[in-house]
């Protein structure tokens, strides 16, 4: 009989005005992968912060029993001392330190306060090999991809003699290939090295693929635990537990009403801002019509985000060439302010660092994009600001105590709605939505898809960038495919499928390899 490595009994955690966890129970068996699922705000991350000591003993009620011992962690260092290591969705790496330095950050190899760099590098390389990280140990973290950064975090955890590894949305920022590689690594660590894992994820296909047991949490309470081999585990069953009802259609139905071309770029070329000799976006031409939802698909590093940011007031890139047209007339925007004034909006993929001011309340974040609308002589009309914020909270069903709640305390789905409200307040004609549902649950995704559909029905032109191909296929009228800074395909909804999109990418890569070998 498999014994439990972890038991969390009757865990209750309250914040001002909110009971985040209500008598939650969780049992995790030694040597297994246990998934924790639920809607944004259900309490998953809060429960793991209690476990890891981020919320110390005394700030919650209930018991934590780890490997048969009652634990009362005062901080994260105490939990790590027991072998419990958490990897957050926002990776805790220092971009300007090397891979080796990050692996032992806070856990330095030293003697009498002096770091032993030889020992650090040798042990870092051994850990990198263990997780399949095939890059130089002296590479700066800022220069490696997100997939590699995840592996650095896991190597960092292994350096602390991890026994229970907690991963919060580990594949949220990864493409399908990197996600599969990471899941295989977790299975290997679990099966061959005996490391127990708790994984929090909204990607239910990954959860059903990798987990031995799945615990569903809803509104701060434990709903059920599904066991592989005992229970029938399907995505529909999990969703019903998460949202309290069946969600038959993942994508709301829509009858497109597509008009004339509203926005286009022609021969758009963008140089790297740090290396002007390198072209990042190569002569791209695309358009979007009134009331149309256009998707941009591509692998990580294909240039989708760089393209979006270069369009949005030249926020990215140098020596930008090409034409931009709005309703057939030439348009030039030199900066973000001009882009907003011309009816362009860009919802960034990085909501926490670039999309919101987390320390500010909902009210200020919503009106931030166009304060001039509610100002006179540079002074904000507070009554108007309050009215605007309350209207958008009601319209977009933002769950919060009130408009004065700190945006940083909202769930991911509600943070995303605040960003959407911010851009809707600017009254854009073109919305570029970069990973609009990253890291949010199926219920919140459905609400955001509904908002996107409503905007399209109002005649807005919408570009959606997403690493989730089913999402693009479910909501878009047309899909462009990018690879290595170039457009390599365009498919109408009727012809688009995951296979046809990947075929465009693979064929373009093969053509480049063939051309390179001939030269």
Tokens of 90: 């926002």
User: From the DSSP assignment, how many helices (H) and strands (E) are in the chain?
Assistant: 16, 24
Mean pLDDT, residues 382-389: 95
Please tell me the predicted confidence (pLDDT) of residue 243. Answer: 79
Which is higher by pLDDT, 511 or 311? 311
Q: What values do phi and psi take at 440, rounded to 5?
A: -125, 160
pLDDT value for 467 = 85
**Nearest-angstrom CA–CA distance, 178 and 175:** 5
Q: Is 272 exposed, middle or buried (0-12, 13-18, 19+ CB in 10 A)?
A: middle
Q: Which residues contact 234 (CB under 8 A, 6 or more apart)?
A: 208
Q: How confident is the model at residue 340 (pLDDT cuts 50, 70, 90)?
A: very high
Dist. CA 72–CA 64, nearest whole Å: 7
The DSSP line for 14-76 is EETTEEEEEEEEEEEETT-EEEEE--TTSSHHHHHHHHTTSS-TTSSEEEEEETTEEE--SSH
DSSP assigned state of 101: H
Same topology between domain 1-83+162-249 and domain 291-317+332-518:
yes
Return the CA Rg of the chain: 24
For residue 295, what are the β-bridge partners? Answer: 464, 479
In the predicted model, is pLDDT for residue 301 greater than 80? Answer: no
Query: Which residues are 481's β-sheet partners?
Result: 297, 489
User: Can you name the residues that pair with 84 across neighbouring β-strands?
Assistant: 164
**CA 54/CA 57 separation, integer angstroms:** 9
What is residue 119's predicted lDDT score, i.e. its pLDDT?
92
User: Would the pTM of this model clear 0.85, i.e. be above it?
Assistant: no
Confidence band for 329, pLDDT divided at 50, 70 and 90: very high
CATH topology of domain 291-317+332-518: Rossmann fold (3.40.50)
Tokens of 114: 């002096």
Question: What is the distance between the alpha carbons of residues 410 and 388, in angstroms, rounded to a whole number?
Answer: 19
Q: What is the pLDDT of residue 246?
A: 66
Choice between 40 and 286, residue whose per-residue pLDDT is larger: 286
240 pLDDT band (50/70/90 cuts)?
A: confident
Q: Note whether 16 and 404 are within 8 A (CB).
A: no
Q: What is the pLDDT of residues 45-95, one digit of tens each?
A: 899 999 999 999 999 999 999 999 999 999 999 999 999 999 887 778 898
How many residues in the chain? 519
> Which pLDDT does position 306 carry in this prediction?
93
Question: 91-136: per-residue pLDDT in tens?
Answer: 788 989 999 999 999 888 888 889 999 999 999 999 998 888 888 9
More confident residue, 212 or 145: 212
Which pLDDT score, from 0 to 100, does residue 479 have? Answer: 97
Helices 382-395 and 412-425, interaxial angle, to 10°?
A: 120
| Token reading at 398 | 């933002």
pLDDT of residue 490 exceeding 70, the answer is: yes
Residue 14: pLDDT over 60: yes
Instruction: Say whether pLDDT at 1 is over 60.
Output: no
Q: What is the dihedral of CA 191, 196, 199, 204, to 10 degrees?
A: 40
3.20.20.70, 1.10.260.40, 3.20.20.150, 3.40.50.300: CATH of 1-83+162-249: 3.40.50.300
Which is higher by pLDDT, 455 or 275?
A: 455
Tens of pLDDT, residue by residue over 173-216, are: 777 777 888 888 888 888 888 899 999 988 888 889 899 999 99
- Burial class of residue 139, CB neighbours in 10 A (0-12, 13-18, 19+): middle
pLDDT in tens, 421-457: 999 999 999 999 999 988 777 777 888 899 999 999 9
Mean pLDDT of the chain: 89
Report yes or no: 310 and 268 within 8 Å, Cβ to Cβ: yes
CA dihedral 50, 52, 54, 57 (to 10 degrees): 60
Report which of 174, 176, 217, 223 is spatially closest to residue 198, judged by C-alpha positions: 217
How many degrees, rounded to 5, is the angle at CA 237 between CA 236 and CA 242?
95
Query: What six digits make up the tokens of 19?
Result: 């009971």
* C-alpha to C-alpha distance for 36 and 201, rounded to whole angstroms: 7
What is the rounded distance in angstroms from the CA atom of residue 316 to the CA atom of residue 308?
Answer: 8
CA distance 78 to 348: 36
In whole angstroms, give the CA distance from residue 54 to residue 43: 14
pLDDT of residue 481: 95
248 band by pLDDT with thresholds 50, 70 and 90: low
| β-pair partners for 224 | 216
- What would the pLDDT profile of 217-232 be if each residue is shown by its tens digit? 988 899 999 999 898 8
The residue ranges of every structural domain in the chain are 1-83+162-249, 92-160, 291-317+332-518
Return the DSSP state at 201: -
- For residue 247, the model assigns a pLDDT of 64
Q: Percent of the chain beyond pLDDT 70?
A: 97
Q: How crowded is residue 72: how many other Cβ atoms within 10 Å of its Cβ? A: 11
């Amino acid at each position: 009989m498999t014994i439990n490595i972890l038991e969390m009994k009757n865990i209750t955690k309250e914040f001002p005005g909110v009971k985040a966890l209500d008598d939650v129970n969780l049992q995790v068996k030694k040597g297994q992968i246990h998934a924790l699922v639920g809607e944004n705000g259900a309490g998953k991350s809060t429960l793991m912060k209690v476990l890891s000591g981020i919320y110390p003993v005394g700030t919650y009620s209930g018991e934590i029993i780890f490997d048969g011992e009652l634990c009362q962690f005062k901080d994260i260092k105490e939990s790590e001392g027991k072998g419990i290591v958490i990897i957050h969705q926002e990776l805790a790496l220092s971009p300007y330190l090397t891979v080796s330095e990050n692996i032992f950050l806070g856990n330095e190899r030293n003697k009498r306060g002096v770091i032993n760099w030889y020992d650090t590098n040798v042990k870092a390389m051994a850990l990198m090999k263990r997780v399949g990280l095939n890059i130089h140990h002296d590479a700066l973290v800022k220069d490696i991809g997100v997939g590699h950064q995840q592996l650095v975090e896991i190597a960092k955890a292994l350096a602390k003699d991890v026994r229970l590894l907690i991963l919060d949305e580990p594949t949220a920022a990864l493409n399908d290939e990197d996600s599969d590689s990471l899941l295989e690594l977790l299975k290997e660590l679990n099966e061959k090295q005996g490391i127990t894992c708790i994984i929090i994820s909204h990607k239910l296909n990954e959860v059903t693929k990798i987990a031995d047991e799945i615990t569903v949490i809803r509104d701060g309470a434990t709903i059920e635990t599904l066991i592989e081999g005992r229970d029938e585990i399907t995505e529909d069953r999990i969703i019903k537990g998460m949202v309290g009802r069946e969600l038959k259609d993942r994508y709301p139905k829509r009858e497109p009403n597509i008009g004339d071309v509203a926005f286009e770029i022609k021969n758009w070329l963008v140089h790297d801002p740090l290396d002007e000799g390198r072209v990042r976006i190569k002569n791209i031409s695309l358009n979007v019509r009134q009331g149309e939802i256009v998707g941009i698909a591509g692998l990580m590093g294909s240039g989708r985000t760089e393209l979006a940011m270069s369009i949005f007031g030249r926020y990215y890139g140098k020596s930008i060439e090409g034409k931009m047209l709005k309703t057939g007339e030439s348009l030039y925007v030199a900066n973000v302010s001009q882009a907003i004034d011309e009816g362009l909006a860009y919802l960034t993929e990085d909501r926490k660092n670039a999309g919101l001011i987390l320390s500010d309340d909902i009210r200020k974040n919503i009106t931030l994009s166009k304060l001039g609308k509610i100002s006179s002589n540079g002074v904000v009309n507070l009554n108007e600001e309050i009215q605007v914020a309350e209207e958008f909270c009601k319209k977009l069903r933002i769950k919060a105590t009130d408009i004065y709640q700190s945006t940083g305390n909202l769930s991911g789905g509600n943070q995303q709605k605040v960003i959407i409200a911010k851009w809707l307040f600017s009254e854009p004609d073109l919305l570029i939505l970069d990973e609009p549902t990253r890291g949010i649950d199926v219920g919140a995704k459905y609400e955001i898809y509904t908002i996107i559909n409503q905007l399209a029905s109002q005649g807005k032109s919408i570009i959606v960038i997403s690493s989730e191909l089913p999402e693009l296929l479910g909501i878009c009228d047309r899909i462009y495919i990018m690879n290595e800074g170039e457009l390599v395909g365009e498919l109408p909804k009727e012809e688009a499928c995951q296979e046809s999109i990947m075929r465009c990418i693979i064929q373009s890569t093969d053509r480049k390899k063939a051309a390179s070998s001939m030269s």
